[in-house]
């Protein structure tokens, strides 16, 4: 739980050390370079949280408290929505059944 507003944002510019040299950010190279990503917000109270310019492609939002108060700014990326479930109602011998198809 954050007592005061907290912003987590990606920095587009490279990190520069005090001696003027650029910090090497390729310690874990991979074919997929998402930039800055968030893996999970499970158990977080998002009432004072701002996410800006982050990759939320695989972020787990289940279990986040006050998710309706989470602020998203900039270019946050998300995964696609899951396929829709079409519900059909059948009446079988006086008992209504709902099935997902």
pLDDT of residue 31: 42
Q: Which residue has the higher pLDDT, 35 or 20?
A: 20
Contacts for 48 with CB less than 8 Å, ≥ 6 apart: 2, 3, 4, 5, 6, 69
Mean pLDDT, all residues of the chain: 79
First to last CA, the chain: 39
pLDDT of residue 36: 83
Q: What is the pLDDT of residues 81-96, one digit of tens each?
A: 878 777 766 656 555 5
**Euclidean distance between CA atoms 48 and 77, whole angstroms:** 20
**Two tokens at 100?**
């997902």
Burial of 41 (0-12, 13-18, 19+ CB in 10 A): buried
Q: What is the pTM of this model?
A: 0.61
pLDDT at 49 over 90: yes
């Amino acid at each position: 739980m954050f007592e005061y507003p907290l912003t987590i944002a990606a920095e587009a510019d490279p990190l520069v050390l005090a001696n003027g040299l650029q910090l090497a950010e390729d310690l874990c190279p991979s074919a997929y370079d998402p930039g800055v990503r968030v893996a999970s917000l499970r158990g977080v109270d998002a009432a004072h949280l701002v996410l800006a310019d982050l990759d939320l492609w695989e972020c787990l939002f289940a279990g986040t408290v006050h998710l309706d108060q989470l602020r998203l700014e900039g270019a946050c990326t998300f995964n696609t929505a899951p396929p829709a479930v079409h519900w059909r109602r059948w009446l079988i011998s006086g008992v209504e059944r709902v099935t997902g198809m």
